[in-house]
């Protein structure tokens, strides 16, 4: 794999990892609402889910197309419904909405990644477009997917950081911010289900 292919791969991964998606928006919203200490369990769930999903993408590309293709089709719609529910949750959450029911959890962040079709498509596209022309062994596919998951986790940490930086402003303008974030999530759900 030449330097040009590596650079193209990294640019693609960076752009996809840092753009808004369900995991990044949930991380930002959780940081703004709960802070780092209370939200960290959810963040760890997001990261763990990211690595698991990217490993699944490597197995998918390696040869499980016949098994996973129908599952991916169903996940597309399950993901759209889940993202729509997440958008509603973000739209109606308040900075003081810290009930036990809304408490961040590892499993909430982890499961989000399994219905987050953006990262499935991201991992599969990155491998098929940039890696498979050079490497096809399972080990290399897994290596590149772990690179993707690491960059994606760094991107989510960036969104968490900005959630902390803007926390005071968020508390003042939470309705506008939540509405904006919800609209982005609804656009993600629409693109997922109808494109």
**Of the candidate ranges 52-61, 79-88, 96-105, 155-164, the one whose mean pLDDT is the lowest:** 96-105
DSSP 115-179: S-HHHHHHHHHHIIIIITTT--SHHHHHHHHHHHHHHHHHHHHHHHHHHHHTHHHHHHHHHHHHH
**Overall average pLDDT of the 141-166 stretch:** 87
* CA atoms of 154 and 159, how far apart (whole Å): 9
Which one has a higher pLDDT value, 96 or 143? 143
* pLDDT value, residue 100: 52
Q: How far apart are the two ends of the chain, measured CA to CA in Å?
A: 32
**Of the candidate ranges 3-12, 63-72, 164-173, the one whose mean pLDDT is the lowest:** 63-72
Per-residue model confidence as pLDDT tens digits over 76-86: 777 677 778 77
**Overall average pLDDT of the 134-162 stretch:** 88
* pLDDT value, residue 145: 92
**Of the candidate ranges 1-5, 65-69, 180-184, the one whose mean pLDDT is the lowest:** 65-69
């Amino acid at each position: 794999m030449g330097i040009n292919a590596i650079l193209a791969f990294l640019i693609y991964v960076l752009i996809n990892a840092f753009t808004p998606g369900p995991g990044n928006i949930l991380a930002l919203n959780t940081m703004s609402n709960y802070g780092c200490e209370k939200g960290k369990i959810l963040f760890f769930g997001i990261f763990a889910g990211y690595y698991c999903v990217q490993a699944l993408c490597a197995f998918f590309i390696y040869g499980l197309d016949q098994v996973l293709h129908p599952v991916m089709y169903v996940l597309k719609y399950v993901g759209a419904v889940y993202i729509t529910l997440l958008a509603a949750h973000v739209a109606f959450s308040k900075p003081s909405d810290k009930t036990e029911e809304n408490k961040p959890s590892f499993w909430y962040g982890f499961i989000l990644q399994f219905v987050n079709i953006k990262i499935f498509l991201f991992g599969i596209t990155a491998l098929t477009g940039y890696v498979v022309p050079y490497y096809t062994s399972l080990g290399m596919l897994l290596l590149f997917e772990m690179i993707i998951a690491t960059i994606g986790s760094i991107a989510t940490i960036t969104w968490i950081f900005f959630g902390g930086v803007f926390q005071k402003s968020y508390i003042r303008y939470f309705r506008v911010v939540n509405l904006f974030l919800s609209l982005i999530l609804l656009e993600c759900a629409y693109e997922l289900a109808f494109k």
